[in-house]
Structure 1
Amino acid sequence: MRTSNDPPHVLDRREGPHGEVVLRRHSDRLEIIANGCFLMDTSDGRSERRLVDAALEALTGRTRPDVLIGGLGVGFSLAHAAADPRWGGITVVERESAIVEWHRDGPLSEISARALADPRTRIVETDLVAYVNETSDTYDALCLDIDNGPDWTVTEGNENLYGEAGLAGCARVLRPGGVLAVWSAQPSPEFEETLRNAGFQQVRTEEIPVARGVPDVVHLGIRPG
């Protein structure tokens, strides 16, 4: 039996177009490390699930809305969305093919297998920034969780996503009155102001308590109708 004192055990390591991505087991949890930066693990997941619920709650008067989830990660957001019959189509954009494979045929399938088998689910393997600027598809909600937050990006190129130009791309794929929900490992008043400057309305930040440290948060904004 592995304990919390045991060192992490690397299950897979891949070198891709965006750098190194690693899946490892540490005690009873699985962890994803991107370019040496801890991204997420399977120890909790309450804030990733809340990301999806907060977006749905902010949508009013819509039947079976469609959601775009930016980032597959360990699969908490996808699994939670697929477990809720109120959602219509569920599209996940993930640029790391290794992460998709770990869900389809690897250790992370224990979280996402049922969600991946759901006929509402679609996985798109591409970069989210490119997707929101190029796709003709639109959604009622965009749940964004590809970094540790607006102020703590995993790769340098992602910084642009959280500026006004990047948020314009997010608004582009949202239907009028659609919701943008952004997960972050820490609050960012500066990002709140950027959301407002980018034209989003009813901007607010919801805190989700965690076991240690500052709360995780979900930043929310509505695209004008």
Structure 2
Amino acid sequence: MVPWIHLATATAPDGGTLRLLRRGDEFSIRLADGNELMNSRLGGSEEALGTLALDRLAGRSAPCVLIGGLGMGFTLRAVQSTAPPNARLIVSEIVPDLIAWAEEHMAEVFGAALSDPRLEVRTGDVLGQIRGATGAFDAILLDVDNGPDGLVRADNATIYGTEGLQSARRALTPGGVLAVWSAAPDSAFSRRLSRCGFDVSEHTVRAGRTKRGARHTIWIAVRTDG
């Protein structure tokens, strides 16, 4: 058995500790208690977050897409593979060390993703990007926690609450898409999306790229008007 090697440690804004580990060509980001947040072999549902959202933007020649959370770049790379040449892609990552890890330790995972001329990587809370915008984004993709009902960071509750969803709706263009990843379904969140002015569809996808692995939930919420 190839052992896990500890590569780096980061402190999140709330004081939590993140650890980056490697075993062969596999990477893992975990909390201090050992709970795994991300694994480089299990990006299927994060990729689906990107592809499902971009499918709804077909026909827009220069969409502006905001991605909350860099992670291991699965959602970003899925968006990059689908977005048109004139797209503008913005990633907001609250933990600066994750950006450094992507450029250094996980360079082989990210490949050329971070050198894409369409991409801008910003350090900070994605909610701040959303609150400061009106009709700025064609899509907002959120993978910032375990989901509306499985928070790792207490501050993320605002993103999934009524205030955060209303801010997201204002930040979207007419017909824009809010896509949200979750480790589990949440019927209350689906109802909240609808109440906040979205046409909602819920998708169940596998964590892996095959039909194996845990089932995760993705909401595709399209801004309605009128």
1:204 corresponds in structure 2 to 201
Secondary structure of 2:152 counterpart: coil
- Quote how far apart the aligned CAs of 1:14 are: 2.1
Contact (CA 8 Å) 2:166, 2:196: kept in 1 or not? Answer: yes
1:24 corresponds in structure 2 to 21
Question: How far, CA to CA, are the matches of 2:189 and 2:100 in structure 1?
Answer: 33
Deviations along 1:186-213, one digit per CA (max 9) or x if unpaired, are 1111110110111112x01111134334
2:140 corresponds in structure 1 to 142
1:10 corresponds in structure 2 to 6
- Quote how far apart the aligned CAs of 1:86 are: 2.2
Question: How far, CA to CA, are the matches of 1:162 and 1:123 in structure 2?
Answer: 23
> Which residue identity does 1:11 align to in structure 2?
L
Secondary structure of 2:94 counterpart: coil
How many residue pairs were aligned? Answer: 218
- Quote how far apart the aligned CAs of 1:137 are: 7.3
2:90 corresponds in structure 1 to 91
- Quote how far apart the aligned CAs of 1:32 are: 1.4
Query: Is structure 2 residue 218 aligned with structure 1 residue 223?
Result: no
CA RMSD after TM alignment: 1.9
TM-score, with structure 2 as normaliser: 0.89
The 3 A distance-change label for structure 1 pair 30 and 162 is same
- Quote how far apart the aligned CAs of 1:135 are: 4.1
Secondary structure of 1:83 counterpart: helix
2:162 corresponds in structure 1 to 164
**Structure 2: runs of 5+ lacking an equivalent:** none
- Quote how far apart the aligned CAs of 1:161 are: 0.9
> Which residue identity does 1:118 align to in structure 2?
D
Question: How far, CA to CA, are the matches of 1:35 and 1:156 in structure 2?
Answer: 16
Question: How far, CA to CA, are the matches of 2:76 and 2:58 in structure 1?
Answer: 21
- Listed as ranges, the matches of 1:1-225 within 5 Å are 3=2, 6=3, 8-19=4-15, 20-26=17-23, 28-34=25-31, 36=33, 37-86=35-84, 88-104=87-103, 106-135=104-133, 138-201=136-199, 203-210=200-207, 211-213=212-214, 215-225=215-225
- Quote how far apart the aligned CAs of 1:184 are: 0.9
Deviation larger for 87-96 or 56-65: 56-65
Question: How far, CA to CA, are the matches of 1:137 and 1:99 in structure 2?
Answer: 29
Question: How far, CA to CA, are the matches of 1:205 and 1:116 in structure 2?
Answer: 30
TM-score, with structure 1 as normaliser: 0.89
- Quote how far apart the aligned CAs of 1:59 are: 2.4
> Which residue identity does 1:110 align to in structure 2?
E
- Quote how far apart the aligned CAs of 1:165 are: 0.7
Secondary structure of 1:92 counterpart: strand
Contact (CA 8 Å) 1:22, 1:32: kept in 2 or not? Answer: yes
- Quote how far apart the aligned CAs of 1:18 are: 2.5
Question: How far, CA to CA, are the matches of 1:133 and 1:141 in structure 2?
Answer: 14
Q: Percent identity?
A: 33
Deviation larger for 131-140 or 49-58: 131-140
